[in-house]
Amino acid sequence: MTDAPIKIERLRKRPDFLAAARAFSCARGAVVVQARDRADDTPLVRVGFTATRKVGGAVVRNRAKRRMRAAAHEVLPGLARPGFDYVLIARSGAPARAWPRLLDDVKSALISLATESDRQARPSATATPPPA
C-alpha cells in the first residue's frame, strides 16, 4: 500500500447506509461509527453522516452533522481503511461535546473497528500472516 492520498467520497444513497448498518459498529462517547468493507477492489473511502430525531430538532441535527463532517475531514485520512464505507451517527451529546473529546471519540472508534474487522477476517483468510 502506498501512502498516496486516499480519495474520500460522501455516502448519499439509502441502500449504502442500510448495508453499513448491518456491518461492524462501535459506540464511543458522543458518536457511533459503523464500518463496512465493500470488497469491490477500489481503494475509495466513503463516509456518511446521520443524526436522528432523538438528537434534537433540525437545527441541532444539522449542527451535529457539520461537526462530524469536520471531524471526519481531520481524522479519516490517517485512520480510514481503503475500500471501506463509514457511517457516523450522532448521539445525544454530539452537538455539545467539546471539540477535542469529539475527535478522540471518532479516533478510538475507528481504531477499534479496524482491529475488530481484522479478527473477523482472519479465520476465513488463511493466507494472511499470523499475528506478531
Considering the complex, state which of residue 63 and residue 81 has its C-beta at the smaller distance from RNA.
63
Amino acid (one-letter) located at 42 = T
CB 45 within 8 A of CB 86: yes
Q: Is 65 in the site for RNA (CB under 7 A)?
A: yes
The beta strands (E) that lie in the chain are given as: 8-10, 24-28, 31-37, 45-50, 84-90
- In the complex, least distance from residue 128 CB atom to RNA, rounded to whole angstroms: 31
C-alpha grid cell for residue 14? Answer: 439509502
**Residue 125 is a binding residue for RNA (CB under 7 A):** no
What distance in Å separates the CA atoms of residue 127 and residue 94, rounded to the nearest whole number? 41
18 binds RNA (CB under 7 A): no
Alpha carbons 88 and 72: distance in angstroms, whole number = 9
Q: Which three cell numbers stand for residue 3?
A: 501512502
Is residue 59 involved in binding RNA (CB under 7 A)? yes
Within residues 73-112, the interface with RNA by CB under 7 A covers 73, 98-99
Smallest gap from Cβ 60 to RNA, in A, equals 8
Q: Is 42 in the site for RNA (CB under 7 A)?
A: no
Residue 10 engages RNA in binding (rule: CB under 7 A): yes
Stretch that binds RNA, among 59-67, 82-90, 108-116, 122-130 (CB under 7 A): 59-67
